[in-house]
Amino acid sequence: MDVAGTTLLSDGDEFTEQRSFGFVHACRNPYAQGGESGRISLTWAFSLPATTCPVLRIEREDHVEERVLQADGQWVNTFRRRPSLWAGRVAGVCEPSG
């Protein structure tokens, strides 16, 4: 099993993307996207602790801007907004079949 790695993806034309992962590192989910006019990145894209305030960084040729976003309990809010995601289904996963 691979426990860490990096890959560079390309569509063969103009789009490239670098992805990295590692189980030996601290748990975090950064996200970044670059283009002709700049780059945007997020320190925590998903699965962050409920009290963590992610930082959105916007980079352009002439300036850099950072915005601290509000903390959000992603998992709690997901189930609050969509109770059908877990209602009756979670229990069914653990029940023996037949």
pLDDT digits (tens, 9 = 90+) for 4-18: 788 888 888 877 878
pLDDT digits (tens, 9 = 90+) for 38-95: 999 988 877 667 788 889 999 999 999 999 988 887 777 777 777 776 665 544 444 4
Q: Are 5 and 22 in contact (CB under 8 A)?
A: yes
Nearest to 72 by CA among 64, 63, 80: 80
Looking at 1-98, list the stretches that DSSP marks H as alpha helix, in order from N- to C-terminal side.
74-81, 89-94
